[in-house]
Amino acid sequence: MAEFKEVSPNAPAGEKLLNWIDNRFPLSKLYKEHLSEYYAPKNFNFWYFFGSLALLVLVIQIVTGIFLVMHYKPDASLNDAGVPVAFASIEYIMRDVPWGWLIRYMHSTGASMFFVVVYLHMYRGLIYGSYRKPRELVWIFGCAIFLVLMAEAFMGYLLPWGQMSYWGAQVIVNLFSAVPVIGPDLAILIRGDYVVGDATLNRFFSFHVIAVPLVLLGLVVAHIIALHEVGSNNPDGIEIKANKDADGKPVDGIPFHPYYTVHDILGVAVFLMVFSAIVFFAPTFGGFFLEYNNFIPADPLKTPDHIAPVWYFTPFYSMLRAVTTEMMYVLVACVVLGAVLGVVKSSLGTVGKASIVIGAVVASVLMLSIDAKFWGVVVMGGAVIILFFLPWLDHSPVKSIRYRPTWNKYLYALFVINFLVLGYLGVLPPFPVGERVSQIGTLFYFGFFLLMPWWSRLGEFKPVPSRVTYTPH
């Protein structure tokens, strides 16, 4: 048992209370380790706002979600007016609950803003090499948060029980039926019935408000703990722990509190102004944040002209639609080409090269014998899963894009443009030109990562300074 610390009997009441807590719970220790004595690089820039903003939006979503759950009913049956009870409860929140419209719009806007912030946060990690050693686990936890966030958003998308909710769930859940052997049973397990209905709504509601948020919160805590264990990266990609003063403090670091807590207030203020402008003046955001078809009650007998997921899923939805039967021949050609290069360039022995050839043959046979719909699902999932392997795909001798060859900046810009184009095409109904562009975009997306071990080593790299570059402002 640890010894209790004592304070003077004449100490202020606040100090006595804090001492009483510290003897039973490490409050002051946690405050020092994660705020006042956590040293962060002094050269953080605009890109470092988005981590704290993601935490802010998470709090907004939890708080508004609690109030929405108080009035929402997950019931797909029809009421006396012939409207699904779940849809009617959303209308009740919007029309009759005091400030219900505000809470609902904050939650719906928060869902989209969450992905805006997370995408920017991940892009910052991409350009500054925040996934490189020793931060591999920080990145993996971050990718897991992104994956769980997608599941949370999809399940929440179903709850209004409008036309897009119902038919979007119908399309996505049916994708699982494309999995060989277990697909039909897996789809039934997810739906809870043979069709999307009351059982689906209830289980998605349960996961959305209880199970998935618990996993999400656990991953966020793990992400922050892992980050504070190894320290934050910076735009130069330099480890500030390598240069310490006589007291053992990084010479290029400053305490997170009060410096960066005050710094982040600027980001929070700007974000809340944008957030409030959307909530009060454009909550549907032209049909991107709240689709117009979702203001129509779910009707299993009326299929909307065009079904597309919310904007933050559309890049991956484009990749799903890009995988057609003819696209499979291109993918098989890519596998064969990769195997040939592996055999020619690899230093493996005869057994290793034979394994590459056998693996390529087996993969090609499976790709041509199994329905393209299944491989579309694999591609869509693989587009997220491949992010987990980024720390081992990047072989660049430097972390930050600042010290990489100039052409790397154009490549990353092209990657962003490609991702945005895929997202836009995912919103539109299928058309021939769009299909071709999405197929090229899908190949570029995967090529960017799969060829990274090769292209990340090319070019002339700039010398990395021994200390961070910082200009007071």
Annotated binding site: 107, 121, 208, 223, 228
Q: Distance between CA atoms of 244 and 253, rounded to whole angstroms?
A: 9
Distance CA 287, CA 29 (A): 48
Residue ranges of the annotated binding site for heme b are 107, 121, 208, 223
d(CA 449, CA 302) in angstroms, rounded, equals: 41
Residues present in the chain in total: 473
CA distance 441 to 247: 52
**Rounded to whole angstroms, how far apart are CA atoms 233 and 398?**
13
- Assign residue 307 a region: left if phi > 0, alpha if psi is -120 to 50, beta otherwise? beta
Separation of first and last alpha carbons in the chain: 49
Query: Residue 39 belongs to what H/E stretch?
Result: strand 39-41
How distant, in Å, are the alpha carbons of 61, 232, 330, 409 from that of 416?
A: 27, 24, 23, 11
- Residues 276-308, buried b or exposed e (16+ Cβ, 10 A)? eebbeeebbeeeebbbebbbebbeeeeebeebb
HSE at residue 180, side-chain half, CA atoms within 13 A, is: 8
Instruction: Name the one residue in this structure whose structure tokens are 């029809």.
Output: 78
DSSP state of 300: T
Give the H or E element holding residue 41. strand 39-41
Enumerate residues 6+ apart whose C-beta is below 8 A from 439: 322, 324, 327, 330
Residues placed in the known binding site for a ubiquinone: 228
Query: Which of 417, 464, 444, 447 is closest to 128 using CA atoms?
Result: 464
